[in-house]
Structure 1
Amino acid sequence: MSRPNPAVFIAFLVAVIVVLGSVTLAKGGFYLAKHEGDTLHLLQILFRMASGEWPHLDFMTPIGLLAFAPVVLFLNLGLGVGISILLSQVLLAFILLPAVFWAGMSRLPRRAAYLFGLSVLVLVMALVHGETERSVSISMHYNRWAWAVSYVVIVLAVLPPREIRNDVLDGLIIGVGLAFLALCKVTYFAAFLVPVVVGLLANGNTKALRGALASGLAVALIVSVFATLDFWVAYLNDLREVSASTVRPAPGFGLRTIVMAPAYLGASAVALGAIILLRQAGEMTLGLALLLLAPGFIYVTWQNFGNDPQWLMLLAVLLLVPEVRPELRNSFGWPLAQALGVAAAIAIAFAAPSMLNLAYSPFRHLSLDPADYQPILVRNPEHHDLQVREIRANRVDGVVALDVPGSGLEDRVGKAKRDEERVSFQGTPLPYCELQMGIVAWFEAIVTDLEQNGFAEGRRVFVADLFMGHWMFSSLDRLEHGAPWYYGGLPGIDSADYLLVPLCPTSLSVRKDILETIEESGIAVTEVRKAPLYWLYSFDRDG
């Protein structure tokens, strides 16, 4: 099979970026349809970094700095956060363009190269996290970015050069790519490092392996120069804290479910079948590489919200590469060249719903009606280019327990097993309520009440909940060394003036964990206000 025409291939890749980028930016802003909480988590990190703070050193997060640096670049140029997010995706696509072009030209036959290039760029520039959920969202963009870079790194590592070869360039791209994974979402780095190294060694590409090591270390050195060596210690501490956390050990189904449940069994079967077919066809190196990659594919899928197996399109690309003799058959009499093609087609069929959803998301974004949206940060006109659906911003819904005294459901209380989430604080039971929608209105109402009662200006609050982004909506200051998303412990509490206990938190279990940790730690607080939406306590730190 011939490799792609260089001029046509690069034109195709540029066209994909230009079309998706133009459609994405044509709206003039970013209009979110869901995941407001995740967006507020992202905004806290972006604004902290734009003000000069470093992830891990100045605030807690398990996500690496390169997941946010492209957006911060545009923020520091004075652009609004909505357009900065969109431009960051276009920028990353253009940065990846040479690597995608080289991987396609040096490793892949024509049809595989085009499928590969399109898949990588769609992953970078999509406006939804995946699955078949159609609502536009920036949530978990770093998962898409990491998959895109993983595609490039894996193709260069596990496939031998075809007609052109440049070991130095291979090493540079692989090393920088792995460094990006380590500094974006380390799960991908951990999952794919061994298969990449084994793939390079099995293909006799030791020069590229040395180059990858050198370029990866060069990236680490550059980061160390600007962030100091303490950055790496802080990063490891954050990862250790999160890995030991019981708050969100895995954001979805269990590991066994990801392998054996009906929704995933087909993908697992095609991966296993592909490994067997490759070995039968004499493609020992690629078969070994896929055998090593499969656990990583499953692990990353398990760790990502939605458990979307976005490795399936990469599997299809890899299966389109071998040039198997037409007469070669296995013990069942199957012609292996055709069998590999069928396996690739099955992988594409399984991948298609999610990939089509990703590809179509910028067009859905373009068709949204701005009249249905409002700014997510109303008090910050410079960031009004980030909008959220008006109904989701203002319709405040929660889940409450109905088995209260007098309901006729009292005999069901024991079987409901709510004790794991119920909590009392300072001897007073807190209501059983969990916020489901309307986090923007919820935050705005709370901070307005704080301001009207003199508890906001220049003060810091530690919130007993999953999110602590109230400072973005008010005159509050942000916590020093806080956590934009709560994973455990009491990060930033030493700098807090007040403890804010929401009566309907976004996570009942997190509220309980925080309040129990405060009481177990012997931290003394005094009640200063009981408002309809929250209780507020001051910290007793005299002496």
Structure 2
Amino acid sequence: MQNAQARRVFGYVLAVFAGLVALAALRPGFDFAKHETDMLHLVDIVLRLEGGARLHEDVMTPLGFWSVAPFVLLKQAGLGLGAALKWGQIAVAALLVVPACWVGVSRMRSVPLAVAFAAAVLLLAAGLVYGGADAKLSLSMHYNRWAWAVVFPALALVVLPAQRAGFWADALVIGAAMAALVLIKATYFVAFAPAVIFGLLLRGQGKVLAGAVAVGLSVLAVQTLFLGLGFWQAYVGDLLAVAASEVRPQPGQGWAQVMLSPAYAAGTLLAMGSVLWLRSKHKDEPAGLILALVLPGAIYVSYQNFGNDPLWLVLWGLLFLALAARYNGERWLGLVGALALALAASPLLNIATSPLRHVLQPQAAFAPLLAAHPDLRGVEARFGPPLGTFALGEEDGQCTLAGGAVAHMRLMAQRLEDAGLGGEPAYVAGLFNTLWMFGDFVPLTGGAPWYYGGLPGIESARLFVLPECSFKPAFKELVMQEITRRGIVLTPVYQDDILAAFRLQLPK
């Protein structure tokens, strides 16, 4: 791409970014309309890290530090909680403007296609919904979007042949992106590292690979200087603990379903067929082999992510449109690209239009999630009355919450405080431990905002709370089994119609 075209690309992409900034500025704070428990999970981590806790060492989670670092830094800088969450998205998009533009300038011949690629990256970073077809907004699973936004430029630089020399630019983008994946969600690094490594070797870009490795290791080394070696030991420990957990082996459909069920088979078969066709028609072009390495990782990540959205088809479509331009508009390549984008249209359009929908939401429907942070608001009707929507299991008689998590946590905190049990670290049996955000309680050192098994943080607890109703009654059973197995003594101190509280004593 010539310099004049490159300047146009940068100009258009900056205009897209400016539009995202303007939409973010039009409405203060952040208003979400679904996935309250996931938002509690995110807020728990952000507020604890803002208060000085260390991820993995004080807070158990399989997510990497960079998955929440923008939010934490903006909150520490003085922004309200809702503003920090919203502008954290914009900050990530800002960091990706130059890498996304470099892909367009160095790998694509068409200005509109280069702008479309960069726009897709920025929208994935700044979107206000995880994907899917539900128009209601939430920052739930935001880290999946961020990881896609980060890996798109790296994979595009590997798959597409260079049309503009830039050894260090390629190495910087690829190396920094792969390091970022380690620190956002390591699953993405594991899934796509083989395609990046072997793809660069197939293209004869060994020097770029070496430079990318050097850049990536440098990024991780700087991170180690700030957080210490203990961070990595604790991070690996959390990853291994979650990988071995039987509580949540997968958040959605199974592997085979994500590959070949009616909802996903068209994309999988299109990808497999396009790889074979590309290899047969252009044997001298390594892109076919590289894409064959990308596909298993793409399907695995979709299988591992909530909702199982095949967002990799967006990248697939843009890459094939770029290859079509390279081969003088070869129709079948363009057709593959168009079909791939069509198959991913639903989640992509949902993400792309989410910043505008945030501005247009009726403000009267929202109320603060937490009294201390009024600029983070949710749909008040979804918070529900105490106990919210619940049902008794037909077989085991257990009370299962289906809604009203916020009101339920507020009432539990109030009941315990009224009973004189406030001011202490409390372990709550169930899906999440967010009692400390709703009353005078202390977060657990080493606790998990989301339950993955075991008893994380129990060593620092002084109070054990057993709710009558829970989103996951099976998790309560697992907790009680672990309590018995470890010989922890529970002494009753309070009970009412919604919870029982105990003093706990750990075995010596």
User: TM-score, normalization: structure 1?
Assistant: 0.90
* Partner-residue secondary structure (3-state), 1:376: strand
What is the identity, as a one-letter code, of the residue corresponding to 1:48? R
Distance across 2 between alignment mates of 1:216 and 1:129: 27
1:136 Cα deviation from its structure 2 partner:
0.5
Report the aligned-residue RMSD.
Answer: 1.8
2:406 is equivalent to residue 400 of structure 1: no
2:144 is equivalent to residue 143 of structure 1: yes
Distance across 2 between alignment mates of 1:161 and 1:510: 52
What is the identity, as a one-letter code, of the residue corresponding to 2:351? L
1:321 Cα deviation from its structure 2 partner:
2.3
Contact 1:21 1:125 in 2 (8 A): no
What is the identity, as a one-letter code, of the residue corresponding to 2:343? F
CA deviation map 1:288-334 (0-9, x unaligned): 0110010001000000000000001100111122258989xxxxxxx
Give the corresponding residue for 1:443.
Answer: 409
1:214 Cα deviation from its structure 2 partner:
0.7
Q: Structure 1 residues 527 and 325, CA, compared in 2 at 3 Å: closer, same or farther?
A: closer
2:115 is equivalent to residue 114 of structure 1: yes
Q: Structure 1 residues 200 and 542, CA, compared in 2 at 3 Å: closer, same or farther?
A: closer
Contact 1:525 1:539 in 2 (8 A): yes
Contact 1:479 1:495 in 2 (8 A): yes
Instruction: Identify the range of structure 1 (19-28 vs 246-255) with the bigger mean alpha-carbon deviation.
Output: 19-28
Give the corresponding residue for 1:12.
Answer: 12
Distance across 2 between alignment mates of 1:293 and 1:4: 33
1:399 Cα deviation from its structure 2 partner:
3.9
1:541 Cα deviation from its structure 2 partner:
4.7
Give the corresponding residue for 1:362.
Answer: 355
For residue 455 of structure 1, the aligned residue among 403, 421, 426 is: 421
Distance across 1 between alignment mates of 2:290 and 2:63: 27
Contact 2:444 2:461 in 1 (8 A): yes
What is the identity, as a one-letter code, of the residue corresponding to 2:495? K
Contact 2:101 2:115 in 1 (8 A): no
Gaps of 5+ in 2: none
* Partner-residue secondary structure (3-state), 2:310: coil
Distance across 1 between alignment mates of 2:505 and 2:228: 35
Distance across 1 between alignment mates of 2:43 and 2:476: 22
Mapping of residues 73-88 of structure 1, within 5 Å? 73-88=73-88
Give the corresponding residue for 1:237.
Answer: 237
Contact 2:171 2:208 in 1 (8 A): yes
Contact 2:388 2:408 in 1 (8 A): no
Contact 2:487 2:506 in 1 (8 A): no
Mapping of residues 532-543 of structure 1, within 5 Å? 532-541=497-506
* Partner-residue secondary structure (3-state), 2:184: coil
Distance across 2 between alignment mates of 1:402 and 1:151: 45
Give the corresponding residue for 2:439.
Answer: 474
Gaps of 5+ in 1: 328-335, 404-412, 414-421, 423-430
1:3 Cα deviation from its structure 2 partner:
9.2
1:401 Cα deviation from its structure 2 partner:
3.0
1:453 Cα deviation from its structure 2 partner:
0.8
* Partner-residue secondary structure (3-state), 1:134: coil
* Partner-residue secondary structure (3-state), 1:486: coil
Distance across 2 between alignment mates of 1:170 and 1:260: 35
CA deviation map 1:131-150 (0-9, x unaligned): 11111100010000000011
Give the corresponding residue for 1:426.
Answer: none
1:2 Cα deviation from its structure 2 partner:
7.9
Contact 1:168 1:207 in 2 (8 A): no
Contact 2:321 2:338 in 1 (8 A): no
2:402 is equivalent to residue 391 of structure 1: no
Distance across 2 between alignment mates of 1:325 and 1:53: 51
Structure of larger gyration radius: 1
Contact 2:389 2:401 in 1 (8 A): yes
Mapping of residues 307-456 of structure 1, within 5 Å? 307-322=308-323, 337-378=330-371, 380=372, 383-395=373-385, 396-401=387-392, 403=394, 413=395, 422=396, 432-456=398-422
Give the corresponding residue for 2:301.
Answer: 300
What is the identity, as a one-letter code, of the residue corresponding to 1:310? L
Distance across 2 between alignment mates of 1:255 and 1:4: 46
Contact 1:65 1:183 in 2 (8 A): yes
Distance across 1 between alignment mates of 2:104 and 2:152: 11
Distance across 1 between alignment mates of 2:418 and 2:392: 31
1:346 Cα deviation from its structure 2 partner:
0.6
2:476 is equivalent to residue 511 of structure 1: yes
Contact 1:398 1:504 in 2 (8 A): no
Give the corresponding residue for 1:523.
Answer: 488
Contact 1:460 1:498 in 2 (8 A): yes
Distance across 2 between alignment mates of 1:168 and 1:326: 27
Distance across 2 between alignment mates of 1:325 and 1:467: 51
1:160 Cα deviation from its structure 2 partner:
2.3
Instruction: Identify the range of structure 1 (336-345 vs 71-80) with the bigger mean alpha-carbon deviation.
Output: 336-345
Contact 1:398 1:433 in 2 (8 A): no
Distance across 2 between alignment mates of 1:70 and 1:326: 41
* Partner-residue secondary structure (3-state), 2:440: coil
Distance across 2 between alignment mates of 1:402 and 1:474: 30
1:24 Cα deviation from its structure 2 partner:
2.4
CA deviation map 1:149-181 (0-9, x unaligned): 11011011222211x211112111111110100
Q: Structure 1 residues 338 and 504, CA, compared in 2 at 3 Å: closer, same or farther?
A: same
Contact 2:125 2:149 in 1 (8 A): yes
Give the corresponding residue for 1:407.
Answer: none
1:371 Cα deviation from its structure 2 partner:
1.0
Contact 1:123 1:145 in 2 (8 A): yes
1:452 Cα deviation from its structure 2 partner:
0.7
Instruction: Identify the range of structure 1 (77-86 vs 299-308) with the bigger mean alpha-carbon deviation.
Output: 77-86
Distance across 1 between alignment mates of 2:437 and 2:249: 28
Contact 2:388 2:405 in 1 (8 A): no
Across the two proteins, how many residue pairs are aligned to each other? 505
